[in-house]
Structure 1
Amino acid sequence: MTVAVSWSRLAGWLAAHQPATAELINSPATAVDLRYLEAAVNRPLPGDLVELLELADGTEHRAVRGSLIPTLYNLVPVKDMLSARQMLQEIQRSIYGPGPWSGEGDRAGRPATDWLDSFLPIAQAADTGFLYVDLRDGDQFGCIWEWYPEGGGQSAPRWGGVGEMIEDVAGAFVDGRPALQAYTSGAVWPEKRLPPQLVEVDDGRLQWFAVPD
């Protein structure tokens, strides 16, 4: 399923069921925005990330409690991708000194204990967490990881790419199926957490909770 089809399903569900959240989706990024982003990271951008940004330049509902992307995340616009990346780079350098960092030469999809210059944040949680795209070379170029400044990264990617992530969320919204099933079955969570399902609470916030299989 293409990013455009998945995003249409996702945005259509929001418009019908969560119009206040739908209104917080930003307009598409401009061609200038995308050229600037690629130049700033000095690496090619995954095609599915570009497709998403051409549909919507993130969201503005980070000020609203709730999350669009499981389980705690909201998409950020290009300008915030770059400011978050710079902040995380500065944290890395302030603690460990100048690079190069361990893992920079690894293939995409390999775990990293350091924040690398080849990582690009695309979503942020209210509790300082980020989702980022792995821009290292390799078959898993463009895969999506979770990162916390105080705890580092996870042991495996959450999704194979932006397209897979948007399709997963759209499926949860429209089809009512749990999200992140591949992630949990991949034993990333050793405590065997159940896959999350979208739940609408009374005040209109979008939240994700674990549900039985």
Structure 2
Amino acid sequence: MGTWDIGPVNDDTTADFHACLDATAEADRPGLVRDALVRVLGSDDPSGRHVVVEAVAAAALVAAQYPGGRPVTSPYGPDLPVPALPVGLRELAVLALDRVDAKASEASLLREPWATTDRYLQWRRRLYLLRRVLAFPTPQPVTRSWARIDGWMQRHAPASYALLAPPADPAEVEAAQEAMGVRFPADLLHSLACHDGLTEWANVVPDQPPMSVAGILDHWQMCVEIAAEESDPSGPHGHEEPWWHPQWIPWAQSDGDSQIIDMREGPGQGRLGSTAHDDRAHFDDGWPSLAVYLTAVADALDNGGNVDGDTPYLTTGGELWWTSTGRTELNGSPLTVAPRTETETDTAPPQ
């Protein structure tokens, strides 16, 4: 049966799959990845453990080629580079992971190998993060996403739209970058050129509300001062994130918890993560960029859906309110699921 670990590619069966991949001609490797994904979609054999393991390993190879995906560097991984995989494998990989983790009784047999391990919940967390990368939307320009968000709020939540601040002063943006010693990424510059945060607190996006340039600078300075006694800004064990790092930009914040943009050098530069007032920062369930995050927000408003489990609702006062999917009230008052943006399909008369 081979050994088992919580990572998506830490398994002897996975090593065998990758060895087969290495031995295959480069032009034929995408087909091998596709075959592994297809096999699990048609499998209901609980003894076919290798089918499940190979599908997850194949999905990890697909995810590694997208923003936010981790390179497969495990000793169980392939030795040779994986060529660019067809775009269509992304959706297929999502379906395969859903098949593995399905709650339906017919598919639950497929995950039985994992359910018998002591670290099943940890493995499912890894599976969730892997699927999350594959489901990230293709980012639109930040200005386009804000235009969609603005348009939706103007139509459906004008009270919330009125709380969006006008564009930031470019001189103030430049002064903040000089004071922080950190250059803002293009995504943040474009966002501030749309709105300099909010005029007062409002739940206009999931997680924390965006801050003004002044708020970004003030919160950054406060965190740098608090973290000044931290002797190792890279974390005590080299791989754990610290509570704060001077190369992080807090673009959104509430009650001391902030959504941060990582501007440290490296492949993760520009990604979004979270840091709490009483805990270390983390990026595992963050976003590849601010552009991807705002695209997801605009998509949820226009098309319905949620952003990491938060769904847009309208309060009785007509304000936009993001909260856990399935909630029906806020402080005793009913919540209404936010309407989607009308499309030509929605409004077209019957033929």
In structure 2, the CA distance between the partners of 1:129 and 1:98, relative to structure 1 (3 Å rule), is closer
1:40-91 deviation digits (Å, cap 9, x = unpaired): 22122211111111111111231xxx512213x1111000101011111222
* 1:101-112 equivalence runs, <5 A: 101-103=233-235, 112=241
Gaps of 5+ in 1: 181-194
Tell me the equivalent position of 1:70: 206
Q: Give 3-state SS (helix, strand or coil) of 1:124's partner.
A: strand
Letter in 1 for 2:318: G
Contact 1:102 1:114 in 2 (8 A): no
1:170-200 deviation digits (Å, cap 9, x = unpaired): 11111112113xxxxxxxxxxxxxx221111
Segments of 4+ moved more than 4 angstroms = none
Tell me the equivalent position of 2:321: 207
Inter-partner Cα distance in structure 2 for 1:29 and 1:177: 30
Letter in 2 for 1:203: G
Inter-partner Cα distance in structure 1 for 2:180 and 2:240: 20
> Aligned match of 1:20 in 159, 167, 170?
159
Letter in 2 for 1:210: S
Tell me the equivalent position of 1:40: 179
Contact 1:21 1:61 in 2 (8 A): no
Moved more, 49-58 or 39-48: 39-48
> Aligned match of 1:124 in 245, 249, 253?
253
Tell me the equivalent position of 1:115: 244
Inter-partner Cα distance in structure 1 for 2:230 and 2:323: 40
Tell me the equivalent position of 2:149: 10
> Once the 2 structures are TM-superposed, how far is the Cα of residue 129 of structure 1 from its aligned partner?
1.3
> Once the 2 structures are TM-superposed, how far is the Cα of residue 10 of structure 1 from its aligned partner?
0.3
Inter-partner Cα distance in structure 2 for 1:202 and 1:111: 43
Letter in 2 for 1:19: P
Q: Give 3-state SS (helix, strand or coil) of 1:75's partner.
A: coil
Tell me the equivalent position of 2:215: 80
Inter-partner Cα distance in structure 1 for 2:285 and 2:177: 22
How many residue pairs get aligned? The number is 186
Inter-partner Cα distance in structure 2 for 1:37 and 1:121: 12
> Once the 2 structures are TM-superposed, how far is the Cα of residue 157 of structure 1 from its aligned partner?
4.7
Is the helix fraction higher in 1 or 2? 2
Q: Give 3-state SS (helix, strand or coil) of 1:198's partner.
A: strand
Q: State the structure with bigger RCO (CA 8 A, min sep 6), 1 or 2.
A: 1
Letter in 2 for 1:68: V
> Once the 2 structures are TM-superposed, how far is the Cα of residue 103 of structure 1 from its aligned partner?
4.4
Q: Equivalent pairs: percent with the same residue?
A: 24
Letter in 1 for 2:183: P
- Residue 135 (1) aligns with residue 267 (2): no
> Once the 2 structures are TM-superposed, how far is the Cα of residue 7 of structure 1 from its aligned partner?
0.7
Tell me the equivalent position of 1:184: none
TM superposition score normalised by structure 2: 0.49
TM superposition score normalised by structure 1: 0.79
Letter in 1 for 2:297: V
Letter in 2 for 1:23: A
* 1:170-209 equivalence runs, <5 A: 170-180=298-308, 195-209=309-323
Moved more, 133-142 or 155-164: 155-164
Q: Give 3-state SS (helix, strand or coil) of 2:172's partner.
A: helix
